[in-house]
Every structure is written in structure tokens, then in C-alpha cells.
Chains A and B, each alone.
Chain A
């Protein structure tokens, strides 16, 4: 592609990369003589194990997800989903929350936080297709309560067989079920939960519990092999919330319907019904009444990768817009030659870089604080919607056309402002976490 003639060539003596060469050698460590694409320079800035992982993920996303993006978006229950899941399973992406030999994560990568690994994964997958990315990523969410239970017997008994099947290319997915018809925000926010009368209730019976209730909007609920589902103990409130592991073939468990969604369509949002479902004691995840703690701990971890989903979508929109302005021209000049177009691209690049900067900073921690997790989630999702809107605007009618790809990015991005707690609830999570500090400073 020809460069815009009115911009300084990299070979020009006034171009910074040329100009810097005239600096004394001692000054060289302070300047860059190259100008790498952001993705490349960001990848090189990562520790080697993570950099290598990011490259693998990008290859996987481009080879497996991208070619199936359109089919996934138009058909929630096509063969595309099973193809992608099988490929993801074989690539170790469905068993990567634990190190080898139980999981598929190489030990040297385990030196870095799970949050970082999951964030890298979700950005790359969702840059190709957020719907297919969610199909894979929601399984990690469903697995988190098991991991956080740190109950080795439970992990060996329940998770290991699933992980073994996954690593062998036979997908066995877990879904995460907290939302109920009467409680969406109330199951994400302590203040709401305090007042909420739980809809999903477990009754004590010999050897276990009988679970009754309904969960809605459960990502991957249609294909889940098992669900980590949260319910209150009979006669008690949300303080008694407990996590149960329910398999898809448990009598009384059924999938009522799948929603038709605005975006991220390759992954279904399913309504699940529990009618006298028997859960043996051995499938209680974590201690009794520890459900709320498991839920909030899970959210503090998973909201960061949700930020990464948003980032991936925004990057996908940016890349699609970039392709468009390189391909299309006006008055004999490619659109990318026009300053207003370059400025728009620059702003999109700046926005995605700012998202990544915050995300990677928070991702270094194994245990992000509630404030950090909510901050990443809100900032990245709001910014991503803005980037997608800017991409649509830049492409005018092409932006609204399916073929332009950015309209899908917009539809996909819009969800990140809603799930894992609406952005309003995430802001309240910051308040909840910071209020004491704010009061102390006042």
C-alpha cells in the first residue's frame, strides 16, 4: 500500500527513527529506532512464556475462529460450535486453569497469574469472534468455583475427568449460573443481595440436597456438561448461598429456552430449570454457605477477562476499519491517506492501548481487588463500545453492513456493559470496596 504522499517518509532525516540515529550512543537506550505495530511491541514486552502464549492464541483465533465467525453469528446451534470447541479442547484451551498434568498449562506459564493468562486468551479469541470466544471462555467461568473451592478431592473426582476429556479433544463444558428471574443485579451486589429473597433453593434430604428454581441468561447453558449453580438453603437468605455442581443428565434438570441475543450469538444464553434435582453432598462446591464468597471471588477474577473480551472486540473493530480504509478510496486516494481518517484510527488505537495498559497492569495480580476488577470491566467495556461506534461511523453505510464486520463488533461489545454485573453495579462495587477509604480521607 502506497504511503500518503504528504507525510514524512521513515527514510526522511526528520523522521524520528532517522533523527534518533544522530544521537550519541549513550542516549540510545532512551529512544527507539524501530516503530513496531502495537500488537508486536506489546507481545515482545511480555515475559517469554506469555508472549509465546499470545502468539499461539492469535494463530488459533485466526485459523479456527475467524473462518467460522459468520456462521457462528447466524446459527447458535450449528456444527461450527462443536468444531470450535473440539479444536479448543485439543489446543488445551478448555483445561487451562490448572497446570499439567491435571490441566494443560505448562508449568513455566503458571509463574504468571491465571488472570493474565485468561485475559490474553480472551483478547485474542474475541478479536476474531466474541461469540465463539465466549463459547470457550464461559467454561472457565463455570470452572472457577471448583478451583476456588480448593477441595482437592472434589477437583480430582469432578474436574479431573472433565479436564481429561477436554484435553483429549472431547469437550465437556461447565456453565456458571447465578442469575435468576428475580435477581440479576441482586446476585452481584451485596446491598441488593441483603434484601433479596433467593429464587433457587436447596432443601436438605438424606445424602444431599434437592434443588428447585430457575436460572436465566446462562452462557453456554445449552451445551454445558455440568453447571455450577448457586442456591440458598431452605428457609434462609442469601447468606446461606451455596454452590452446587449439577450434571446435565441429573433428573429434574432441564434447559427451557435459548434467548435470541443482539450479539455474541455463537454462544447461547440459556434458561435452566431445576425441579427437585438431587445433588449429593459430594457435589457441594466449597463449604456450605460459602456460595456468596465463591461468587464474589469468581467475579473479581472473571471481570478482568471480561475487560479483555471488550478489548478484543474493540481491536477486531479497529482492524476491520483499518482494512476498510486501506481498501477503499475517495478521489483516487485511499481513505487512509486522509488526515481525518488517520486521526480516527489513531484515537481507536489509543483507546485500545489504554484498555490494554490498564488490563495488563491489573492482570499481573493473582487476586485483583474488587475495585481493580470492576474498574477494568467498566473502563474496557465502555471504551470498546466507543471504539466500535467510531469504526461504524468511519465506515458510514459500510459500517452498518454485515460484510463490514464492525456492526457485529458493536453488537458483541454492547454485551460487555451488561454481563458480569451491569456497569452501574460494577461502579457500585468500586463504592463498596473504597467507601471506607474515601470516608477516612474526608
Chain B
């Protein structure tokens, strides 16, 4: 399913209105996290607007058709708009929308709210997953099998980023030589909530230890669903793009604030904007924003073969956006370091996004794996 320009415009207009009228009043003080009860209500509002719906029939849903360029771009634009107001909210919606979409692709009508949370160890998964996705039919490199087994729910100890109050997690798991999709809940897994995460304060960061009962997971029957490779590449690639879009939106807000501040704050006998030291901070941020915008707003489908490009984009843009957030904070001097100004929260949020979706270490290995010469011993896939 694709969407035309008119529908896209209408969707983005609706999201902008929501961000301004519904979300905005709760983040008038950008430095404070939205309270949990309020957050849940806002997410419920977004659901009732049809933004979270599997099945691809609803063009208004986020991640309605990741394999369609126009639909993906619309999702990313919507996330960007929401993140300008609150990055955590945008992130929560994207995780739930993606989980719901994937569940629908697996042919399951969701009875409970579902999300695709982000597992830290996915980031430490080296190139195995990219290699598997590039050549799913070929024998696996020695070691890749074990690495795949350790991803997502297979990890011994991990930290999981999830939206609050969503009933179940949908998680891929490599086991016995093949991929399955499993439904889990953090409490049944024995996860413990981190009370003081670095950023994305609105969301839950769960510590998952070995003591957790992985047996509580329910395997989703996957007959007749798209191939494991298609679903997996969406599960890997979509958060990367979403991360760029959400960081972009969050930093747009930081940039506007920094620009405004630099126009009124006077030091050195003039407005600080007029000092090249400050204007170059702003210019660097602006360059990062414009470059990231070019990605988020240009058509890009999550089809097979797109992973290399998406990983490369994330590898380039996320660190640049992280720096941009810092440059905006620096424009505020000491005030930027204080909670009141709201800038430090944006820096923390963007850092948290980078940790959760795209540690550069693993992006480099993933990217290399998409084109790398593989000298490891091979053994047949089971």
C-alpha cells in the first residue's frame, strides 16, 4: 500500500496539530518528563487516532508499510514532528507501531498492546545479523550462529528500552538454527526497572538478568507470514531510521532555543550570536540538521537490500546529531547545563537514542558485514 501526497500532507498536519494541542501543553517545561499517567493517556489518544494499527490497511498508522517509500517517509516525518515536542513520546509510539505492524505481518490479530523494544545487546551483536540478512540461504560463518543466539532475548544480561504500560514485547529470537518471534512481558521475565536512566526519561529501561524466566515467552506461530529475513530486516532497520528522525526533531527544538537565546544574551559587548565562536556552534548544528533532514524527508523503503544504506546513514548522522545537541547546549553556557533550560534533557535524550538504536561500534561491523570478505570457517545452517 502506498500513500499519495495529499494523504501524506493530511497525516503530517494531523500530527502537527496533535503535537501542538495535545502533547504541547504537557511539555511546556521541556526539561521535565511527562508524568506516567499523562503519558499513558496521550499514547491512548494516539491509538484512538489510528496511528498504531497493524494490517497495512490504515495509511494513518505509523510503520503502516515499511516496504513502501512514501509510507516510510511519512512515518519518519511524523516521528520528527512529535520529537520536536517530546522525543520520548515519539520513541514510544514508534516502538509500539513497529511491534504492532510486525505482529500483524506474522498473521496475529493483537489482543494486547504490543511493542518492539530495543535491546542493548542487539547493538553488541557485531555483524552476524547483517551477514545473515545479506545471505540468508548461505552457510553461516563460524561464530555467527552463537552470536545470533545471544541477541535480543538470548542475552544473559541486558538493558531493554521499552515504552511504559504496553502489555507485551514482540522479540525475535534465534534458536535451534532458526528465527522465531516471541511475545514476552517484562515482569514475567523478572526484569527490574532502572530508576535513573540517562535519557528518554518518559520510557522504561529494564534490566534483564539471567534469573529471568525466558520460558514465559510465547512463540508466535509464523505460518504464511513473510520470510524471516523480511521481518528481521524491518526490525533492525526501522529503529535506526526512527532514531535519526526522532533525534532530528528533538534537536530542532534545541536549535530553535539556542538561536533565540543567542539573539538576546549579550556578552563581549554584543549579542552572542554575533561572535563567530557562537555562530559556528549554531552553523555546525544547522548543518547536521539539514543533512539529517535530507534523509528523513527523502523516500526510502525498508526493502531487502536497503540495510546497507540505512546502516550507513545512521552511522554518519547519529554521531553528528549527538554533537549538534551538544553544540546547542554550549550556546547557553552555564545555563545550558541546568535543568531549567531544557537543553540538557535533549542532550541526554539524543545520547540515549544513540545507545539504544545504534552504537557506532556495531554499526561499523554491520556495515562491513554487508560487503565484507568473510574468511571464517563455515558450517551449514541447521
Contact = CB atoms under 8 A, between A and B. Distances in A.
A396 B147 contact: no
Contact of B198 (A191, A194, A402): A402
B351 interface: yes
B119 A397 contact: yes
B196 interface: yes
B278 A424 contact: yes
B376 to A, nearest CB: 12
Interface in B268-292: 268-269, 275, 277-278, 281
Contacts of B164: none
Given A331-B147, A400-B351, 4 more contacts: A217-B338, A340-B364, A396-B121, A418-B334
Contacts of B207: 401, 403
A330 B148 CA distance: 9
A428 to B, nearest CB: 7
Contact of B361 (A269, A385, A394, A410): A394
A190 to B, nearest CB: 10
B352 interface: yes
B63 to A, nearest CB: 21
A330 B277 contact: no
Given A184-B267, A186-B267, A428-B277, A269 B338 contact: yes
Given A186-B268, A340-B364, A410 B351 contact: yes
Interface stretch (B46-54, B122-130, B181-189, B239-247): B122-130
A415 interface: yes
B269 A192 contact: yes
Interface string B170-208: 000000000000000000000000111111100001010
Contacts of B351: 389, 392, 400, 407, 410
B359 interface: yes
Interface stretch (A82-90, A243-251, A258-266): A258-266
27 contacts: A184-B334, A217-B338, A259-B340, A261-B337, A261-B339, A262-B337, A269-B334, A328-B157, A329-B156, A331-B146, A335-B124, A340-B365, A393-B354, A393-B359, A395-B355, A396-B121, A396-B159, A397-B121, A397-B123, A397-B158, A397-B159, A398-B158, A400-B159, A400-B198, A410-B198, A411-B348, A419-B334
Contacts of A186: 267-268
Interface in B99-136: 118-126
B194 A401 contact: yes
Contacts of B266: 182
Interface of B: 118-126, 143, 146-147, 149-150, 156-161, 194-200, 205, 207, 266-269, 275, 277-278, 281, 322, 326, 329-330, 333-334, 336-340, 344, 347-348, 351-352, 354-356, 359-362, 364-365
Shortest beta-carbon contacts, A-B, top 7: A397-B120, A195-B269, A396-B123, A331-B146, A407-B198, A397-B159, A424-B277
Contacts of B194: 401-403
Given A400-B197, A403-B194, A414-B326, A332 B146 contact: yes
Given A185-B333, A394-B361, A259 B338 contact: yes
Given A185-B267, A396-B123, A396-B362, A401 B277 contact: no
Contacts of A194: 269
Contact of A330 (B121, B278, B339): B121
A418 B334 CA distance: 6
A143 interface: no
Nearest to A341: B361
Given A396-B356, A400-B355, A179 B334 contact: yes
A333 to B, nearest CB: 8
A238 to B, nearest CB: 12
A396 B267 contact: no
B344 A397 contact: no
Interface string A68-108: 00000010000000000000000000000000000000000
A262 B360 contact: no
B333 A260 contact: no
A189 B278 CA distance: 15
Contacts of A414: 326, 329, 337, 344, 347
A330 B123 CA distance: 11
A30 to B, nearest CB: 37
A183 B196 CA distance: 34
A410 B354 CA distance: 14
A428 B278 CA distance: 12
Contact of A401 (B119, B146, B147, B198): B198
A393 B327 CA distance: 19
A185 to B, nearest CB: 5
Given A394-B361, A396-B362, A192 B268 contact: yes
B314 to A, nearest CB: 13
Contacts of B354: 392-393
Contacts of A330: 121, 124-126, 147, 150
A262 B339 contact: yes
A398 B269 CA distance: 45
A194 B269 CA distance: 9
Contact of A397 (B147, B149, B150, B355): B355
